[in-house]
Structure 1
Amino acid sequence: MRLRLLVISLLTVSFLGALDHTVVSTSLATVAGELGALKLMSWVVVGYTLASTVLLPVLRKLGDVLGARRIFLGSLVMFLAASLACGFSQDMAWLIAARVLQGMSSAGLQLMSQTIIARVTSQRERPRYMAIIGAAFPIAVLVGPVLGGAITDYWGWQWVFWINIPVGAAALALALVAVPHLEPGPMPRHFDVAGAAVFTAALVALVLAATWAAERSAGPATAAALAVSMLGFVAFYFVERRAPEPIVPLHFFANRTIAAGTALSAIIGVGLFSITAYLPTYVQMAYQTTATVSGLVPIATVFGMLTSNLLTGWLASRTGRYRIFPILGTSLGAAGLFVMAVLPAGLPLWVPMIVMAVVGMGTGAFMSLIVTVVQGAVPASQTGTITATINLVRQVGSTVATAIIGGVIGFGVAALLPAGLDASTLTPQLVKGAAPAVQASVAQIYGSVFAPIFIALAATYAVGIVAAVLLPHGRLSDEPVPAPQTTSESLSA
């Protein structure tokens, strides 16, 4: 019973973090237009994902020192405070700064949720529980876009952030009761300060280079940022090889299961998470819908994701087999995204809904399962480390791809807009009030800008097929993990 209550608690908190990401997506076009900063639109998303990425290794170490429960609860409180600050933003810089704080706290929620559940379940039963917790993202995308669109249309975009407060208060109350007092692991003797600093600098430089290159607005600066990034990652490799306790243990990747699983995790970030935030904007502009209706395409995407995530989690726990699911999933994702790229203009909205549902089904087939598979490839004492590593790679892929996609959209639309329309203040409402010829022109522009993006994402999933085939054959273990020490009574199913 206590384990079920814990799963409900982790699902609620995971839903909170996922809801914040998805409920914001439908308001992006309106926020950018009202604050007069279309070219900074991507940083509302990139700032969030960048902060959550660079903090993962630090939080993994803090979890070892302070315990997963303390980091989990502290991250939740910080997330609520940042949500309040987002709603009071007066300009884009304020909003981006508050989103950075949200991203930092969401990293703690995500990482500690997976670490906690891994410490109280066996590998065989874990896919079922991971699938339930992993369902938070699909559920949030089912609810978030429509909720975000309705709030934007009727209440104002500020409330897409403030809606977190009542949900978060309920989640905090439940977490205080349900999350066990897991004792910290062995005290780290060293903290890889050099590795964390070099990695952060290299990743920030890479995101800046990707954003500027996509916008084609800062040639020398782009080259300099790219050079800093490449040198930073080379330095990071040598630092990690020499560090006594590296933030990313490179020897993990000699294991084929970990190497293939990490690649699949990155593909999820690059191939789908990066585009999710921009789908409503694409639908609003290319299909001339309201913010509320634009949520239907991501809803279809995650309905497919939710269904396959729960089904494959149940099947993997029941049979112990896992390899077939990522092979089928990456194949479906590649096919669906390619179809999205070649869809002609003027089709009914249900067509892209069906296509993106297929993409969602493919992604859900291995989204949560691959975390369990990789966790089983290391000793129990390394569960937190490998969980942080696989999430780090997924987040890096999502962060960089989100920056590139946002830059391509911002530059591409601005370059192709007809005379008389200012890209920095362009909103769906403005387009709907324009002449039919202007509406058709804007729809065509968005279609032509997004087509190569979908092609690139389809190619990413095609690479994922290769990684899935390289996964070794095997079965999930029935052996229970060592019982965690707690200050409360033992968990029991």
Structure 2
Amino acid sequence: MSPWRLRLLIVALLTVATLGALDHTIVSTSLATVAGELGALAQMGWVVVGYTLASTVLLPIIGKLGDAVGPRGVFLVSLVLFLVASLACGFAQDMPQLIGARVVQGMSSAGLQLMSQTIVARVTTPRERPRYLAIIGAAFPVAILIGPVVGGLITDHWGWPWVFWINIPFGVGALLLALVAVPKLAGFGRRRFDIAGSVSFAIAMVGLVLAVTWIGDPARAAASVVSFVVAGMAFAAFFLIEMRATEPLVPLRLFADRTIAAGTALSAIIGIGLFSITAYLPTYFQMAYRTTATVSGLVPIATVFGMLVSNLATGWLVGRTGHYRVYCIAGTALSAAGLFVMAVLPVGLPLWVPMIVMAVVGVGTGAFMSLVIAVVQSAAPHRDIGSMTATVNLVRQVGSTVATAIIGGVIGFGVAGLLPAALDAATLTPQFVHQASESVQAQVAEIYGGVFSPVFAALAATYAAGIVAAVLLPARRLADESEPAAAPRSEPLTA
């Protein structure tokens, strides 16, 4: 591609990626208002769960489809569906209609996210990919930073439907830009579709998401156990099917390549190690450090800002030198050290201390957040780039979903078990604690510190395992010329 058209393409993909990322974070602030006006508070969580579930289930299917027919058509169809679903969300008259529209949004967002990364892989050299993927990947931390604020402002001043309708003008502009900028990229031929693998994977993911959603509800404990069992059986069936399928949904044969295996493991560690804890940080600082809700948000902001800066910096550096392994090793080590410090950090210190520590964790994670996608893409055959891009994103998303549920359960049961009889965990809010006596505040702070400390330690251990995966990456340089479509390289999983 000519330089000007490549820049135009990156602008189009970045706009679409930002829309998709913002759509996930901007809605969180308006959920209470939406549930109140539609009169369905009990179904409020499904606005988020439906979106996440649809996005996760469709990832490998869309990746395979993009490889077969070409990423441009899948990308444009996904963008049109996303705009139609956004319009339907705003016009929803009840919660089932809204949840249904959000499911379509989640399906289309999977296509936007995946095809953006696949298109970059198809039109750039391996050396260029980290830089451009880092630019597109910046949409996620930016969405975390500004999404809740923008969502609150829109809900307060325009009404909650505009949280979804705001996508329309920007999305139409992005669609027109994409029609011009996204090149026609041929697929690798229509292949036998892995129906059995798709069905077993869908059952497994639905069971897993339902299980982790219900795990904290005592009334649904039995249903959660049944869902875990169903998910486990479906995953087992899925792997057996994929090992025997002629055209598997997830090409397991490629994991014989050391680069692909180690890169995929690093992607999963990001979801487990950092994305899972971010949602609980404000609660931790409100309770343990006795801050207000507004002030407690500074720590996640510092974390995400560190991630953003590091993501862009390493993308630029790898684009210049081609060396990538050192950033993965340094990033996992830095994140492991930061989370270990959080585990031993005494509560009650000035807030700037944990802000700096979590910013270091963000810098470490950002160092390889987008980089591992480019590394895995460079090791995959051209005909499987979409499938492997989907797999890298999938393990990160599943890791985050499962780890978030586990951490939530540990915090909920841990705090409830340590509270004195005079305090009820069900009514223990930050406002209640801040208005309580000094001794009660100190006691609650100590309990939260004691519960979160092993959580931080476990996440530090996760990143420590990531150091091993990073060391297993081959010490290669990304090529600065286009690669031919090649058969996968098989390398032993040894350092």
Give the TM interval when normalised to the shorter protein.
0.7 to 0.9
TM-score, scaled to structure 1: 0.84
Match of 1:474 among 473, 476, 479: 476
- Hey, what's the Cα distance between the residues in 2 that align with 1:337 and 1:25? 26
The Cα RMSD (Å) is 3.6
1:104 corresponds in structure 2 to: 107
How many residue pairs get aligned? The number is 480
Query: CA shift at 1:109, angstroms?
Result: 0.7
Partner AA of 2:403 in structure 1: A
- Hey, what's the Cα distance between the residues in 2 that align with 1:91 and 1:124? 49
Match of 2:460 among 431, 439, 458: 458
1:401 corresponds in structure 2 to: 403
1:198-220 Cα shifts (integer Å, max 9, x gaps): 11112222233334444455444
Match of 2:364 among 353, 362, 365: 362
Residue 366 of structure 1 aligns to a residue in which SS?
coil
- Hey, what's the Cα distance between the residues in 2 that align with 1:31 and 1:291? 21
Gaps of 5+ in 2: 486-495
Match of 2:7 among 4, 7, 21: 4
- Hey, what's the Cα distance between the residues in 1 that align with 2:188 and 2:253? 21
CA shift in 2, pair 1:123/1:105, >3 Å = same
2:184 corresponds in structure 1 to: 181
Residue 379 of structure 2 aligns to a residue in which SS?
coil
- Hey, what's the Cα distance between the residues in 1 that align with 2:423 and 2:89? 32
2:489 corresponds in structure 1 to: none
Query: Percent same amino acid at aligned positions?
Result: 71
1:232 corresponds in structure 2 to: 234
Match of 1:324 among 312, 315, 326: 326
- Hey, what's the Cα distance between the residues in 2 that align with 1:98 and 1:398? 24
CA shift in 2, pair 1:22/1:349, >3 Å = farther
1:136-167 Cα shifts (integer Å, max 9, x gaps): 11222232244345556776666544543444
Partner AA of 1:109 in structure 2: L
- Hey, what's the Cα distance between the residues in 1 that align with 2:415 and 2:108? 33
1:7-56 Cα shifts (integer Å, max 9, x gaps): 11111111112222333455668878999999977655444332211101
CA shift in 2, pair 1:455/1:370, >3 Å = same
1:100-124 Cα shifts (integer Å, max 9, x gaps): 3332121101110011011111111
2:490 corresponds in structure 1 to: none
Task: Decide which moves more: 364-373 or 149-158.
Answer: 149-158
Task: Decide which moves more: 431-440 or 142-151.
Answer: 431-440
Match of 1:209 among 190, 208, 211: 211
Contact 2:290 2:434 in 1 (8 A): no
Gaps of 5+ in 1: 484-493
Match of 1:115 among 115, 118, 141: 118
CA shift in 2, pair 1:66/1:243, >3 Å = same
Task: Decide which moves more: 319-328 or 404-413.
Answer: 404-413
1:390 corresponds in structure 2 to: 392
Residue 55 of structure 1 aligns to a residue in which SS?
helix
1:263-300 Cα shifts (integer Å, max 9, x gaps): 00111122222333444455556556666554432221
Match of 1:306 among 283, 305, 308: 308
Partner AA of 1:118 in structure 2: A
- Hey, what's the Cα distance between the residues in 1 that align with 2:291 and 2:91? 28
Contact 2:26 2:147 in 1 (8 A): yes
TM-score, scaled to structure 2: 0.84
Query: CA shift at 1:468, angstroms?
Result: 0.8
1:73 corresponds in structure 2 to: 76
2:144 corresponds in structure 1 to: 141
Task: Decide which moves more: 296-305 or 114-123.
Answer: 296-305
**Higher-RCO chain (CA-CA 8 Å, sequence separation at least 6):** 1
Task: Decide which moves more: 166-175 or 320-329.
Answer: 166-175
2:57 corresponds in structure 1 to: 54
Match of 1:270 among 248, 269, 272: 272
Query: CA shift at 1:187, angstroms?
Result: 1.5
Contact 1:145 1:299 in 2 (8 A): no
- Hey, what's the Cα distance between the residues in 2 that align with 1:151 and 1:285? 29
Task: Decide which moves more: 261-270 or 56-65.
Answer: 56-65
